[in-house]
Amino acid sequence: MDFQLVDWIFILGYIVVVFGIAIKSKDEMHESELKTPNEIAQEKYMANKSLTFLESICSIIATEVSALTFIGIPAVAFKGDFTFIQIYMGAIAARFVIAVVFLPKVYDQGLTIYEVMAKQTGLPSGQRTVAIFYSLSKVVSVGVRLFSGSIMVATFFGVNIYYGLAAVTFMTLIYIQIGGLKAVVRTDMLQMSLFILGGLLAHYLIPKTGGQNWGDMMTLAQEAGKTSFLNFTNPWPFIIGILGGFLFDMSTHGVDQDFAQRLTANKKLKHGQYAIFFSSFISIAVGLLFLSVGSLLWAYYQTHPLPDVKGADYLFPHFIVNYFPLGLRGIMVAGVLAATMSVLDSTINALCATSYNDIFPNRNPEKMKFYGIVDSIIWGLGILTIAIIASKSEGLLYMGLKAQSWTGGTLLGIFLTKLVFKNYFKYQLTPVSVIGAYVFGMSGVFVNTQILQWDWNLNVYWGCFLSMIFLKIYSITSSKK
């Protein structure tokens, strides 16, 4: 495929701006003035508690939607309808609980949320075990997200998907090392703006390309049931979606270091509380924006032949590369690149924070910068490996979410027993208690998906409640010793 100069200008311009932001953030860090490794860690992983409400909420949105939103959500709507929005609706109540109950218990209490869990009644080995389980599950779920974004990059440049994966990972690793969390958050603001712009452009260009009216295309989709999210004759799936979204979001945004550090790094507690709660409404708007893109694509292909692509996940990238005008293609590629990097950068930063603070707390503090680079490379390669494995599958959106649901409930259960209902669960956070909780929690997920074959949205409920049952038994038996 011939690359046009104007497309290259937009893509390279985006990359230059991203690295410019990272360098500016680096200049503001003043690492030479920091005297201890802990001070450097606070600057690198917590931005020295300097985040504003705007930075925090934009970073939350940019991280949670990712390229799965850009690529996966249109594919879901193309094949089905708008029922996916139920998860976002359930998140409103979840984020209210996070803001009012969770955040006050962890704000200003430690570098990571797992350190806070282990305070008072925990052992360093227990803290390490929780962090390891979190880190491994995070690598799996984010690896799927990395692959989804690389589809667009590889399609545009006409290269093998593996080159796209490697290029995105390599660029992200470099600028993370330059600027720390502050650079991550500031680039997230740019990235959020870009992929929302990309969604809006799609709403204009898909009808224009098909020579149709936007309203007529959406009406056609509506009449075919493509915009439905509630069936009044059978409301149970809607209820399951809302309930699933409630606890699922609590596990992803409440006890995940990736999101927790965006809230605890705020200048004030209330800024973090406002950011997490109001982000739920923006998430719904973004979700509807990209679901509608899928409906428009469905309407377009009712009168045009379907392209020969691997699956629905490739339809939107194919449409962009082949039908969007010069310049706008570059903006869309930059938007997907932005969405992908916004997830990857925040994840690696969070994983490095847990490595430094929770998994390897006894490493030589004088070599902190060296270990930070090593940790970034290791976690980046781990995510890249999962992305390569995910490249063999379809249905990326739900695959990514299901991966998060496998262990998210257990992590939430541990958090609830240690910080919210700690008076009823008096036990030490040890490797035995953590491993036992994960065994029970993941057994519940197995029962839900393989034996009962209920909706995957309930995975977090099974994982959370069964892990809490184990921890209650453990607290009773351990107290008698």
Helix (H, G, I), strand (E, B) or coil at 421: coil
Sequence spans of domains, the chain: 5-394
Domain 5-394 has CATH 3.20.20.30: no
CA distance 280 to 46: 23
Count Cβ neighbours within 10 Å for each residue of 121-133 and write b for 16 or more, e otherwise. bbeeebbbbbbbb
Cα dihedral value 345, 346, 350, 356, nearest 10 = 30
DSSP 35: -
Written as tens digits, the pLDDT of the chain (481 aa) is: 445 778 888 888 888 887 887 777 766 655 545 557 777 778 778 878 888 898 889 888 877 766 667 777 898 899 888 988 888 888 999 999 999 999 999 999 988 999 999 987 878 999 999 999 999 999 988 887 777 667 777 777 777 777 877 888 888 888 777 766 777 777 777 778 887 888 898 999 999 998 999 999 999 999 999 998 877 677 777 888 888 889 989 998 999 998 898 899 998 999 999 999 999 999 899 999 999 999 999 999 998 988 877 777 788 888 888 888 888 888 877 777 776 777 788 888 899 999 999 999 888 877 888 888 899 999 999 988 888 877 766 555 556 667 788 899 999 999 999 999 999 998 999 999 999 999 999 999 999 999 998 888 889 999 999 999 999 999 999 866 5
pLDDT, position 86: 87
The structure tokens listed for 402 are 């299901």
Helix (H, G, I), strand (E, B) or coil at 455: coil
Nearest CA-CA partner of 142 in 336, 352, 463, 403 = 403
CA distance 414 to 422: 10
pLDDT, position 396: 53
How far lies 93's CA from each of 84, 247, 333, 420, in Å? 17, 9, 34, 17
CA distance 154 to 164: 5
Please count the residues of the chain: 481
Helix (H, G, I), strand (E, B) or coil at 429: strand
Place of tokens 């692959």: 147
Instruction: Identify the helix (H) or strand (E) that includes residue 115.
Output: helix 113-118
pLDDT, position 1: 45
String of DSSP letters for 338-377: HHHHHHHHHHHHHHHHHIIIIISTTS-GGGHHHHHHHHHH
Nearest CA-CA partner of 188 in 349, 387, 390 = 349
pTM, entire model: 0.87
Q: 3-state SS of the chain: helix, strand, coil percent to 5? A: 80, 0, 20
* Bridge partner list, 266: 51
Nearest CA-CA partner of 430 in 96, 130, 211, 76 = 130
